[in-house]
Amino acid sequence: MHIAVLGMGRMGRAVAGRLLDGGHRVTVWNRTEGKAAELISAGATEAGTVAAAVSGVDAALTALADDAAVTSVAFGELQTSLDSGTPYIDCSTVSPALGAALADGFGDRFLALPIVGGPGTVTAGKATLLAGGPAQLRERLAPLLGTLSERVRHYDSAAHALTAKVTTNFLLISGVAALAEAFTVGRSGGLGDDQLRELLADAPVVAPAVANRFDAVLTASPDGWWTTVLGAKDAGLAVDIAAEAGAHLPLAEIVRTRYEDAARTNPGADIAAIAALYRDGGDSAQV
Amino acid sequence: MHIAVLGMGRMGRAVAGRLLDGGHRVTVWNRTEGKAAELISAGATEAGTVAAAVSGVDAALTALADDAAVTSVAFGELQTSLDSGTPYIDCSTVSPALGAALADGFGDRFLALPIVGGPGTVTAGKATLLAGGPAQLRERLAPLLGTLSERVRHYDSAAHALTAKVTTNFLLISGVAALAEAFTVGRSGGLGDDQLRELLADAPVVAPAVANRFDAVLTASPDGWWTTVLGAKDAGLAVDIAAEAGAHLPLAEIVRTRYEDAARTNPGADIAAIAALYRDGGDSAQV
């Protein structure tokens, strides 16, 4: 198949690379050019506009940061230039409300495909795809999904797939925030980092996906791909989904606030950098 | 050895039962009598007073609910009646500050021995013991500890063992609270409980110890042994340890507040019952 991948953040590049490796033809586009050099060496074509990127493709795919970015691309040039029968797939983590709006706007050719797993997991073909849309479309796109990963969960609507994604993300980002506070408890009580590592690194109270970031949280490392800004956004999506149904989530609200606090200092840092708020036993962001 | 076990809550009973099974002689005591029938059938002796319970024993052990209960027993009848050379072991989850005070009051014969794992885990011999006290005392008590579990982590002070316990507990109780909110997100977005089970029951974003309570949180089950009151206490201990060192833990504070909210409705319910605060999509406790 010939796929246009719109958005060359880390996730967009991983998806495009995986599709190329799987034998698909890939055209890439990004708001600012020059982020796709490696993909172009590997055989992708870069287009200067969304219209040029999606011309004649079998499917268009977006992998963008948030609701605003997806809205701008999807309801902008994409909608006006995509051939009327061509499927549109969005891999971004956006609100179920936007997912529903995209399903309205693009009809039964829209598939929400949020991805559980980081870019490295996508590259390795080990990510879990949450496919939300009409059954017929999911069947039609099965070869494409199969290239990305064998692990696919199916949902009958974009909104349900996105709700599942936000629910999953919330557990990971709240787990990272709780680990940062747990380290603060341990250090405040006089335990050294080696003692904390021995106590908790393989402990059943730490989720495996959080344990992947264990040393990153211990050192408040900024290196990674899931930024504090995205963490705040994802916690906010969780709060909003619940609020829409009349439910109040005090824990998620605090998690969002903490990532916002962390993002003020270092917006490009990984979510593990939330631990910097607690470093040296104090809480500089609150003072 | 002849051991006095003071406190016949679920944990005290599990510890006493395990010691009996291991061939030790056990005398039990509780503030109110009549909770030890099964142990007495199994060979334990019940004493009417702390003084009678600890008379002539090789070690006294407390397993009580909180700082107030331990303070009352340890600095009351226990201190005045325990033979001067006899070791005193406290298995309760109390503050490191109380641990330090007990080490002061009882000297180098005091061992803090908080236990990671529930009563069932203790009974099965699979719990992790956090032994905090003088090295000589830990060696002397090795046969007793070995009867309880092969898994022992050693700390040079009672305060450090208790800090490790509170750090561990905080991760579990915050994980349970986050799971309750995650379910609320999923349900608010229209996912059914079967879909949430499929998405999350074995997902790497849920810690194994939290996954043990997965269905209990999904159903807000009150059945279990770690009560909402104890959850609020443990989160409070985490907050206090950090505050003592000048650190502020916004997440732990909210977790404490949520368990306090849950405890107002049903103090004897398991921590999983925190999910009842969110049931039916609303948040009755906040309204």
- Per-residue pLDDT of B148-164, as tens digits, reads 999 999 999 999 999 99
Chain B neighbors of A195, CB-CB under 8 A:
155, 160, 164
Q: Distance between CA A91 and CA A224 in Å, rounded?
A: 19
- A247: closest CA of chain B, how far (Å): 4
In terms of CA atoms, which chain A residue is nearest residue B130? A199
Contact with chain B for residue A240, Cβ under 8 A? no
Chain B neighbors of A249, CB-CB under 8 A:
181, 184-185, 278
Cross-chain residue pair A178–B171, CB shorter than 8 Å: yes
**What does the pLDDT look like over A155-201, one tens digit per residue?**
999 999 999 999 999 999 999 999 999 999 999 999 999 999 999 99
Q: Distance between CA A169 and CA B226 in Å, rounded?
A: 27
**What does the pLDDT look like over A45-92, one tens digit per residue?**
999 999 999 999 999 999 999 999 999 999 999 999 999 999 999 999
Chain A neighbors of B157, CB-CB under 8 A:
190
Cross-chain residue pair A167–B200, CB shorter than 8 Å: yes
Q: Residue A34: exposed, middle, or buried by beta-carbon count in 10 A (0-12, 13-18, 19+)?
A: exposed
Under the banding of pLDDT at 50, 70 and 90, the label for residue A266 is: confident
Under the banding of pLDDT at 50, 70 and 90, the label for residue B266 is: confident
Q: Distance between CA B209 and CA A205 in Å, rounded?
A: 5
What pLDDT is attached to residue A250?
Answer: 98
Q: Which of A181, A249, A281 sits opposite B181 (nearest CB)?
A: A249
Contact partners, residue A93, CB within 8 Å, separation at least 6: A66, A114, A162, A165, A166, A169, A230, A233, A234, A237
Structural domains in chain A?
2-156 (3.40.50.720), 162-278 (1.10.1040.10)
Q: How many other CB atoms sit within 10 Å of the CB of residue B106?
A: 23
Cross-chain residue pair B162–A188, CB shorter than 8 Å: no
What pLDDT is attached to residue B280?
Answer: 56
In terms of CA atoms, which chain B residue is nearest residue A153? B199
Q: Is the pLDDT of residue A280 over 90?
A: no
Contact partners, residue B31, CB within 8 Å, separation at least 6: none
- Distances B36 to A69, A238, B27, B39, B145 between C-alpha atoms, Å: 64, 47, 10, 5, 22
A139-146: Cβ within 8 A, 24+ apart? A140/A87, A141/A59, A141/A87, A141/A89, A141/A111, A143/A1, A144/A1, A144/A3, A144/A19, A144/A24, A144/A59, A144/A89, A145/A113
Chain A neighbors of B171, CB-CB under 8 A:
178-179, 182, 200, 203, 205-206
Q: Distance between CA B89 and CA B133 in Å, rounded?
A: 10
Mean pLDDT, chain A, whole residue set: 96
- A65: closest CA of chain B, how far (Å): 21
Q: Is the dihedral of CA A171, A173, A178, A179 positive or negative?
A: positive
**What does the pLDDT look like over A107-117, one tens digit per residue?**
999 999 999 99
Q: What is the pTM of this model?
A: 0.95
In terms of CA atoms, which chain B residue is nearest residue A99? B189
Under the banding of pLDDT at 50, 70 and 90, the label for residue B284 is: very low
The separation between the first and the last C-alpha atoms of chain A, rounded to the nearest angstrom, is 55
CB pairs A-B closer than 8 Å:
219
Q: Is the pLDDT of residue A96 over 50?
A: yes
**What does the pLDDT look like over A205-240, one tens digit per residue?**
999 999 999 999 999 999 999 999 999 999 999 999
Within 175-214 of B, beta carbons closer than 8 Å to A belong to: 175, 177-179, 181-191, 195-196, 198-200, 203-210
What tokens does A41 get? Answer: 């060496």
* Amino acid at position A199, single letter: L
- A239: closest CA of chain B, how far (Å): 8
